[in-house]
A = this chain, B = another copy of it.
Amino acid sequence: MSESIADASPVRIGVFDSGFGGLTVLRALLPRIPCAEFFYLGDTARLPYGSKSQATVARYAVESAQLLESWGAQYIVIACNTASALALDAIRAAAHVPVLGVIETGADSAADVSVTRDVLVLATDATVQSHAYAHACAARGLRSIEKACPLLVPLIEEGWIDHSVTRQVLHIYLDQALADARALGHTPDTVLLGCTHYPLVRPLLEAALPAGMTILNSAETTANRVHRDLLSNVYLPSRIASDRNLARCHFFATDSVDKFRVLGSRFLGQPIERVELIDLGG
């Protein structure tokens, strides 16, 4: 896959996640860049990254990004909040192509839409502990409350997308987060979904949140940014201009390709036919 790329060939975009949650980012990319060739790599043998240290996550993510680049990826999307939080600098240092993380794009969008300048971030434990969203928000003049919601991923993976237990868990987390915000004098008007799984419970979130709050899905904001970056690139615009759906997707996982196909199809919103097993030596 390392042959040189003729100008007329479709642009190759690598998408990396620790599992299949990042397929919500690919799902948002497909309609925006319909003639690209996508390489999706889910490091399922070593997930979840959320419980691992920065050094370990960085090592895993750099290996995966290098693999995507070896397949010809000309642009790499780190569709994993934990890896974006803990390893983006390390990946950029190791890569020879542009690398985009989901956290900076989420914070950019929040900076665009928030009127009160107060943001509520919902994310996994590891992402919250890294305070990557708080730092990214602060750099854009926003105050933030970060709330860890560790039960949402297992509830979503259990398929309890529209379930009373999930509704209660969301209420508990949101009540705690909004109480924290009040105690600090924050008035958040924007909610950032800081985990690629969370878009699947967006309807429950909309029902549970006070009226007037804007929910930002970092999958969507990231896909918009990739599109903008490719258009502004000196040589790529002609290769993403088509509006015909010619996208080709290749899926790779480091373990459990069957589970990837089944659960992944739910995240991608369309069937995944074939997943190739990759050994990263984990």
**Interface set of A (CB-CB < 8 Å, partner B):** 44-48, 51-53, 56, 150-151, 153-155, 157-158, 164-165, 168-169, 172, 255-256, 259, 281-282
Give Cα distance in the complex from A52 to B157, angstroms: 15
User: Are A52 and B255 closer than 8 Å at their CB atoms?
Assistant: yes
Question: Which single member of B51, B52, B256 contacts A51 (CB below 8 Å)?
Answer: B256
Closest to A258 in B: B53
Query: Would you give 20 A-B contacts (Cβ < 8 Å), ordered by A?
Result: A44-B51, A45-B52, A46-B282, A47-B51, A48-B48, A51-B255, A51-B256, A51-B259, A53-B255, A53-B256, A56-B255, A150-B157, A150-B158, A151-B151, A151-B154, A153-B154, A154-B154, A165-B168, A165-B169, A168-B168
Closest to A160 in B: B151
Scoring A52, A168, A172, A281 by chain B CB atoms within 10 A of each residue's CB, the highest score goes to A52
Give Cα distance in the complex from A141 to B47, angstroms: 38
Residues of B with C-beta under 8 A to A157: 150
Residues of B with C-beta under 8 A to A155: 151
